[in-house]
A and B are shown apart, each in its own frame.
Chain A
Amino acid sequence: MENSAAVVMKGITKTFGSVIANHKVNLEIRKGEILSLLGENGSGKTTLMNMLSGIYFPDDGQIFVNGKKVTIHSPKDAYDLKIGMIHQHFKLVDVFTAAENIVLGLREKGRLDRNAVATRVREICGRYGFEVNPEQKVYTMSVSQKQTLEIVKVLYRGADILILDEPTAVLTPQETEKLFNVIRNMKADGKAVVIITHKLHEVLEISDRVAILRKGEYVGSVPTSEADELSLTEMMVGQKVSLNIDRPEPENRTLRLSVNNLSCVDENGFKRLDSVSFEAYGGEILGIAGISGCGQKELLEAVAGLQSVSSGSIEYYPPDGGEAKLLIGKTPKQIRNYGIALSFVPEDRLGMGLVGSMGMAENMMLKTYEHGFSPFTSKKEPTKLAESVRERFEVSTPGLSTPVRRLSGGNVQKVLVGREISNAPSVLMTAYAVRGLDINTSYTIYRLLNEQKEKGVAVIYVGEDLDVLLELSDRIMVMCAGRVNGIVDGRTATKEEVGLLMTKLDRKEGDSE
């Protein structure tokens, strides 16, 4: 065993039901090194790290920390071994201050000495370049501040091995840069850092070594200096892929949707949308960029008739050149009959677009079940549609009546997107359409969106990956705190420009989780 190995995992296997999350995985984490754990969604990265941090217990295999064999039963065991994990979803108490969150769960004897805690927090911050105010309450923090706090919390507990699960998913490019600086400082301090991610350019930028998982199995590891995007993708996917997204020139652009001064407030009185105005054209892909929770969801739902609005107007211009129709005040059903399809993929995929307990076929008829006069539903058409979606998108499911909840995230997504595209919309709104999809399927989706665009459909694409947005969209609308902060040309805009627009406004209001 090498001296520098902080953690060695040998033959780790973990299954959930018949799903094999990890199969005989071997992994080595070294001191003073930044390791990227790369793999598509569902390839078992998070599961593997959860076993290291005591959330799950492996079915099989051994873990060595500093050369000694260990068993990790709980997160506390992990902390005792100086292993700390920063989860994708923050585990903080909103009403507590930063310092209170840091000491929460520590079983130290005696009274809580706030000054001592604050001093140590400042000391840690100073060493690595964090900015944390120990007395600030968590609910007043921005997403990136919360993440910083999570890292400090782990360091406070003396962690030498840090695991960050998709740390950049919620950050802007500028914040990401700041985070990377901190990570480099930690590396210089001799700590072992693992970053779970599926963003290739970040892998190349930050890490020293890349370990790759595919479908729960360990593929291998390579020094970052010897890797490039294409070679990593091949290892990740297991076959050659081309990483180019087409962007055909828009033809016959026609005004399809015109939104004017749209505003809405949530139940707490927060303005979720603030005087949003924009136009969407048939034959064009309009990208929408923004940090999550800054109004994209509300905007799409308002167009689909699912969100009540306080003021403003939405006009729809039918492709046949008929009269403009006002969408506000219409039911979702009426709006749908105009040909506006919303394929919305919220965090909880099954919470809105699909019915988890039903099979593919029954999910296909979610929007069409009412057709016909019979009081009974007909399963013939939906079954046919399900069969074709299954074939076209290569959905892997035991059967058309298997509850979609049992399918993997990527397959669930394929079912949803497949249904939305197949009902021939005139406006197609997608939110996070490729979240959870493997690279091949993602590119299939991009191709399908382009196909829709060429058919004259107005495509609205809400995305989180700026690189994809810049490659796919004709125009990009950047939202920030419920407002439109600028609409830029997708062909000429730069990532920095968009990133800046995402954060420039005062962020207190629109920022939730």
Chain B
Amino acid sequence: MELVIDRVSKQYKNKIAVDRIDLTLKKGIYGLLGANGAGKTTLMRMLCGILTPTSGTITYNGIDVSEEEYRAILGYLPQDFGYYPDFSGRDFLLYMAALKGLSKESAKKRVNELLELVSLTDVAKKKIKTYSGGMKQRLGIAQALLNNPQILILDEPTAGLDPKERVRFRNLIADIGKDNIVILSTHIVSDIDRIADRILMMNNGKLVFDGTREEISGDLEEFYLSEFGEGEVD
């Protein structure tokens, strides 16, 4: 199980959003930190195959990110998670399950499990437009987990979750990270602090730190601020 990011860059006209990133990720949880515009979302989109790098390659066990086989083992929660307001939570998950290639029977079973896991069983038949922000976010997390992904990419997954839900979410991710690759970016440093096996920091499209929590002495947030001098942790 090896996700290889080989000298990946993304350039938009005069701006380099991601600059020659080299990484090899094995199973575990990777926390991605960086200020606004650091290139985190661009990197995540490239990892999901929905944005083509200007140069470099991304492969998982030799499978290119653009292939269907790769997408079959991928789970993705974008920062700006999209949904269909007139779908019920259950229908949305069943639709996503069909997209991910689950059979009807296994989709039903998995959807029920996930609705239970994210505490949405009671509102599963209600339209998503009636959900609160936190409920929508939990639905987003559920859809990312539908296919038991080997690579789970989460962009700001805890946004909108209350403290209790955040704790549950952290435990869930910690569990998934034991056997899979989980990459998550969050502005809540404490989320990464507690569960990330490795911390990645980006600035101006470059990877400026790649290390374990143990390599950072003291408070992670203070370390982050000291690394960058200023700027919002995002």
Q: Do A and B come from one complex?
A: no
Q: Which residues of A contact B (CB under 8 A)?
A: none
